């Protein structure tokens, strides 16, 4: 009798699995369909996956079928989605850090990239911070200071979607062209500075004041130094082995999974969120091109296909677009969008023109640098999770992410159509149009 009672009693773990798996199935189907639709309209697949996450939230699915959405994403499922999202983001940022390539630079390229990066982050940061100060009373939480709120808005708008930018350039065969390398390096600098801003904001917000944030900032800096100066040299033999054999063996596979997850756990413990640990773990990986190729080949598709759509949906569940209805909210959204777009687009375009590139190439780079994609979603999810921003600002910045990402490729093609994209010149000449040589031509 006790055995029968034990069998008949519901297993809470099984009950949870039976709720989580249908949610994941729906998430992946929606991501696949919307990703395919995005490709059909000449947009990156990741944009469709972002939109799918928003559509599964309260704005559409929850509005049309509230009971179905509540049954599919009950309260006990959301923590599981959060855990999967955090693991996915940590591993994705690990792959982003591991994929950065600063080799094969032409003379003066680092200097030019630094100028381009400054022109991308400076105006966006200033305009975004200005918009944040104007909108503080309307959009900010009362426990967040005007300085922190303004810096958060400016930091979010100063991001560039480095992974998406890399994907666009790779698809067009421009990743090793002077224009492509310059843009990629500038975007990586922009994102690194933006993450530093967020790390400082997180430390300040989680403490009771700027002084209490100093230990967190100091531990974060110590963590970065240890990863880059101690862990990185220890991993070089693994990189040489993988480059020689062309595959990740069991030991190496354990290493490339355990290192970012452990680093993410440490940075979470420090108080600056797991994605920072994943990113620095990626920077510590061997820089051999063959190693990066093998690593991405083994991990990128699984992370992008399974875990990132889960993150997009978790973001979508927190996106209440109905909260930004009304004249004042729409005007606030318009101000934030205008500040973010104009700061990146015109700042980068004018900088490129000042370095001797033609207007077409300059506006093309401005369009690419203006895409924010996944990076801003990570940024604002951290802000929402740590109580730095409101649901209304979160929803506005989600829309900024979607709109600027959707506009990147069309604006790029408008400035630099296919007939002008592949040319013969590889270096800019002062005030003369420059043409880009593609490896695919």
Run of H or E including 53: helix 45-55
Report the alpha-carbon angle 328-329-330, nearest 5: 95
Q: What is the mean pLDDT of the chain?
A: 83
Strand partners, 436: 422
- Cβ proximity of 257 and 304 under 8 Å: no
Q: What is the pLDDT of residues 142-175, one digit of tens each?
A: 888 899 899 999 999 988 877 677 767 766 667 6
The residue extents of the domains of the chain are 79-421
What's the rounded Cα separation, in Å, for the pair 435 and 422? 7
Q: What is the DSSP string of 277-336?
A: HHHHHHHTS---HHHHHHHHHHHHHHIIIIIHHHHHHHHHHT--GGGG-SHHHHHHHHHH
Q: What is the pLDDT of residues 282-295, one digit of tens each?
A: 989 998 888 988 99
- The pTM (predicted TM-score) of the whole model is 0.77
Helices 327-354 and 359-369: crossing angle in degrees, nearest 10, is 140
Q: What is the pLDDT of residues 231-250, one digit of tens each?
A: 999 999 999 999 888 888 88
Using CA atoms, how far residue 356 sits from 140, 182, 188, 359, 436, in Å, is 42, 13, 22, 9, 14
Give phi and psi for 308, each to the nearest 5. Answer: -65, -45
Give phi and psi for 432, each to the nearest 5. Answer: -115, 145
Helices 327-354 and 146-157: crossing angle in degrees, nearest 10, is 60
Q: What is the DSSP letter of 355?
A: T
CATH of domain 79-421: 1.20.1530.20
Q: Over 60: is that where the pLDDT of 439 sits?
A: no
Residue 103: predicted pLDDT = 57
31 vs 188, higher pLDDT: 31
Residue 114: predicted pLDDT = 86
- Cβ proximity of 366 and 129 under 8 Å: no
Give how far the C-alpha of residue 102 lies from the chain's centroid of Cα atoms, to the nearest Å.
20
């Amino acid at each position: 009798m006790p055995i029968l009672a034990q069998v008949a009693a519901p297993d809470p773990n099984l009950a949870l699995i039976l709720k989580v798996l249908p949610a994941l199935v729906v998430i992946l189907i929606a991501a696949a369909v919307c990703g395919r639709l995005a490709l059909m309209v000449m947009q990156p697949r990741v944009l469709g996956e972002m939109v799918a996450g928003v559509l599964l939230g309260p704005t559409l699915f929850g509005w049309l079928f509230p009971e179905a959405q509540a049954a599919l994403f009950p309260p006990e499922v959301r923590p599981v989605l959060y855990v999967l999202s955090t693991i996915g983001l940590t591993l994705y940022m690990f792959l982003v850090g591991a994929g950065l390539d600063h080799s094969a630079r032409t003379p003066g390229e680092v200097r030019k990239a630094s100028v381009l990066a400054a022109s991308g982050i400076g105006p966006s940061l200033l305009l975004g911070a200005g918009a944040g100060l104007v909108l503080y009373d309307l959009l900010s939480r009362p426990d967040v200071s005007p300085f922190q709120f303004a810096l958060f808005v400016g930091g979010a708008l100063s991001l560039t979607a480095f992974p998406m930018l890399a994907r666009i350039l790779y698809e067009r065969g421009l990743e090793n062209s002077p224009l492509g390398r310059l843009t990629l390096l500038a975007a990586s600098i922009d994102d690194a500075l933006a993450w530093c801003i967020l790390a400082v904001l997180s430390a300040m917000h989680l403490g009771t004041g700027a002084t209490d944030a100093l230990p967190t900032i100091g531990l974060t800096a110590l963590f970065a130094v240890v990863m880059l100066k101690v862990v990185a040299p220890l991993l070089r033999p693994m990189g040489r082995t993988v480059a020689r054999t062309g595959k990740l063996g069991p030991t190496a596979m354990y290493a490339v999974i355990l290192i970012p997850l452990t680093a993410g756990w440490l940075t979470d413990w420090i108080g600056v969120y797991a994605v920072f640990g994943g990113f620095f773990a990626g920077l510590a990986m061997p820089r051999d091109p063959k190693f990066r190729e093998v690593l991405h080949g083994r991990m990128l598709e699984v992370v992008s296909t399974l875990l990132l759509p889960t993150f997009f949906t978790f973001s979508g569940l927190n996106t209440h677009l109905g909260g930004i209805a009304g004249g004042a909210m729409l005007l606030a959204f318009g101000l934030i969008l205008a500040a973010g777009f104009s700061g990146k687009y015109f700042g980068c375009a004018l900088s490129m023109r000042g370095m001797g590139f033609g207007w077409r190439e300059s506006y093309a780079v401005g369009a690419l640098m203006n895409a924010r994609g996944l990076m801003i979603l990570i940024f604002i999810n951290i802000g929402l999770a740590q109580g730095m921003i409101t649901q209304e600002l979160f929803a506005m910045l989600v829309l900024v992410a979607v709109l600027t990402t959707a506009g990147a490729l069309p604006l790029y093609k408008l400035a630099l159509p296919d007939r002008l994209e592949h040319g013969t010149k590889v270096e800019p000449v002062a005030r003369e149009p420059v043409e880009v040589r593609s490896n695919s031509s």
